[in-house]
Amino acid sequence: MQGRLPSMQPTVVLLREGTDTSQGIGQLLSNISACLAVAQTIATTLGPRGMDKLIVDERGQATISNDGATLLKLLDIVHPAARTLVDIARAQDAEVGDGTTSVVLLAAEILKEVRPFIEEGVGVHVIIKGLREAATLAIKKINEIAITVDKSDPVKFRELLMLCASTSMSSKLIYSQMPFFSNMVVDAVMSLDQNDLDESLIGVKKVPGGGMQESLLVKGVAFKKTFSYAGFEQQPKSFKDPKILCLNVELELKAEKDNAEIRVNEVSEYQAIVDAEWTIIYRKLEAIVATGAKVVLSKLPIGDLATQYFADRDIFCAGRVAGDDLKRVVQAVGGSVQSTVSDIEPHHLGQCGKFEERQIGGDRFNVFEDCPKAQTCTLILRGGAEQFIAEVERSLHDSIMVVKRAIKNNSVVAGGGAAEMETSKFLRAHSRTIMGKQQLIVGAVAKALEVIPRQICDNAGLDATDILNKLRMRHAQGDTWAGVDVDDEGVADNMARFVWEPALVKTNALSSAIEAACLILSVDETVRNPQSEAQQAGPPAPRGTAQRAMRGRPGRR
């Protein structure tokens, strides 16, 4: 009797044919290299002497910016691991508004410093544990050295906010007009409700032409004149203490065929329908006039008939007002948006001290000022090219977010690499007290933190090695706030020079950078799924193509 053959294990096909898999240390090092390439691209934008990037998208639209989050969004990075850096830059921008370039540089530099340990076979989890320990120590140190500013003196507190706004602008295009814009930003944030500080209530309108100094802050609401119908020219364009009615109602005659199909047997029946339409709109208009409102705004169109009707009664109206503008008007003048014109009571109306239609540059603006409940404002930005004004808007957004964070968390640290160098000194000293491999990892993070002052020096054309040596010496001697002084090309006490930043910017950047580094280090395999057969075959043929092709073939008889 023949012996039985050993049973063969069946082959298991787990992934579709053509799937690309990369794994192991090689894949990990490849991911780190991709992140370093991203950081290298935006490194030159850091600091007061940072350069701008000109990015042209597929539609040919050019953007000039040195904002890290904007650049990474426009670069359209496809490498899956490098996209993590895009996400942390966006998170930093949403959370604190500033420090987007710093967070990417820190994450990449941390990965660069731990790469030799990975090549030598140190376990990834050992490295991640060391990074998390370093993050905890560094954030604790920043919170310890941060200076809390007293809010009780409004004059001194305003000076603090001005300094934080100026530091945020020091690396932007508007550097030359820093005092002017710093004052504008602080005024804008202080005009908001101090409990929630909703920055969406700061409207930004861009008007090409003129110089930067012609930009202005309206303590109220301003928006561009909306689409106007016949009769608009006859309306008054200026009021003192007007009542304002905000609507979400359409005041326009609609052709009957647009709304319904009605079968009529006699002309008189059709005329009755038309008369009913006119009666309805006149009732609405009479109800609005009866409220005593002098300015009527609506989210929906206000047609020819209504515009002329209001003009005859010295009432100003504007239809198709953008939703965010209407929201800010209600926030400034009071009242509420009404969805019907029946039962409008006095408390539904708002009021402002002054309303006028004003020419600003090449545009007409409707401006509401001296509002009693004004918890909103509008920045009207002027400048030459549209790309320039767009970059001014991004710069002011960063400053607004920094000032907002400084109000909510009134602790500050010195900028210019001072906080990073002090934290680096602390981590390096602490690493010598740790046993084992963790000592090397914490020391690597300490070295990585020096990338910020080094890059500021490189971008300003200074000798980075010489200045870093001076900084290490000053911090070793106990000079906590010694940082890079770009103006005098040396080292200075940046707290005394009023180069201030909210401590939250630093702690958030550090924790985000280390979390991103840990995430990238924890990935040891990338699986790329092939395109499905349907996608590879191209778009489906139009209906009837196959039938026509078959019809043309000679068939069997």
DSSP 116-132: HHHHTT--HHHHHHHHH
Residue 552: what pLDDT? 42
pLDDT tens-digit map of 495-549: 888 788 888 888 989 999 999 999 988 887 777 666 654 444 445 544 444 444 3
* Token pair in block for residue 203: 């409207």
CA distance to 421, 484, 489, 527, per residue, from 463 (Å)? 17, 11, 9, 44
**Region 413-440 average pLDDT:** 90
Q: CA dihedral defined by 160, 166, 171, 177, rounded to 10 degrees?
A: 180
Strand locations in 370-515, DSSP E?
377-383, 411-414, 482-485, 490-493, 500-502
Residue 545: what pLDDT? 40
**Region 70-88 average pLDDT:** 84
Residue 429: what pLDDT? 92
Residue 548: what pLDDT? 40
Q: Quick count: other Cβ atoms within 10 Å of Cβ 545? A: 10
CA distance to 67, 190, 446, 471, 522, per residue, from 428 (Å)? 31, 41, 6, 14, 25
Residue 136: what pLDDT? 92
CA distance 360 to 358: 6
Residue 286: is its pLDDT beyond 70?
Answer: yes
Residue 553: what pLDDT? 44
Residue 423: what pLDDT? 92
H or E element at residue 258: helix 256-259
CA distance to 65, 103, 397, per residue, from 510 (Å)? 23, 7, 21
What letter represents residue 38's amino acid?
V
Residue 1: what pLDDT? 47
Give how far the C-alpha of residue 16 lies from the chain's centroid of Cα atoms, to the nearest Å. Answer: 40
**pLDDT, averaged across the chain:** 82
Q: How many CA atoms lie within 13 A of 339 on its CB side?
A: 0
**pLDDT bucket at 252, cuts 50 / 70 / 90:** confident
Superfamily designation of domain 20-148+422-454+502-528: GroEL-like equatorial domain (1.10.560.10)
Residue 534: what pLDDT? 42
Instruction: Name residue, tokens 């790329």.
Output: 528
Mention the CATH class of domain 221-259+268-373: alpha beta
CA distance 503 to 490: 24
Residue 10: is its pLDDT beyond 80?
Answer: no
Residue 537: what pLDDT? 46
Instruction: Name residue, tokens 């009542």.
Output: 243
**pLDDT bucket at 8, cuts 50 / 70 / 90:** low
CATH number of 154-219+380-409: 3.30.260.10
Burial 105-128 (b: 16+ CB within 10 A, else e): bbbbbbbbbbbebbeeebebeebb
Q: Between these two residues, 409 and 88, which has the higher pLDDT value?
A: 88
Residue 283: is its pLDDT beyond 60?
Answer: yes
Strand locations in 215-314, DSSP E?
216-218, 221-224, 238-240, 243-247, 295-298
CA distance 59 to 232: 37
CA distance 213 to 12: 71
Burial 178-189 (b: 16+ CB within 10 A, else e): beebbbbbbebb
Domain ranges in the chain? 20-148+422-454+502-528, 154-219+380-409, 221-259+268-373
CA distance 77 to 97: 21
Residue 254: what pLDDT? 66
Residue 546: what pLDDT? 40
Residue 235: is its pLDDT beyond 60?
Answer: yes
Whether 494 contacts 48, CB under 8 Å: no
**pLDDT bucket at 192, cuts 50 / 70 / 90:** confident
Residue 557: is its pLDDT beyond 50?
Answer: no
Residue 443: what pLDDT? 92
CA distance 373 to 477: 53
**Which residues, in sequence order, are CB contacts of 95 under 8 Å at separation 6+?**
508
What letter represents residue 31's amino acid?
N
Residue 461: what pLDDT? 87
Whether 78 contacts 86, CB under 8 Å: no
**Region 231-239 average pLDDT:** 83
Residue 34: is its pLDDT beyond 70?
Answer: yes
Lowest mean pLDDT among 9-18, 418-427, 449-458, 548-557: 548-557
Angle between helices 100-119 and 68-75 (to 10 degrees): 70
Strands 482-485 and 490-493, how do they pair? antiparallel
Residue 337: is its pLDDT beyond 60?
Answer: yes
What percent of the chain stands above pLDDT 70? 89
Residue 23: what pLDDT? 67
**pLDDT bucket at 258, cuts 50 / 70 / 90:** low
Whether 336 contacts 324, CB under 8 Å: no
Residue 426: what pLDDT? 93
Residue 3: what pLDDT? 53
Residue 2: is its pLDDT beyond 60?
Answer: no
Give how far the C-alpha of residue 544 lies from the chain's centroid of Cα atoms, to the nearest Å. Answer: 49
CA distance 45 to 48: 9
- Indicate the pTM of the whole model: 0.74
Residue 422: what pLDDT? 92
**Region 434-440 average pLDDT:** 87
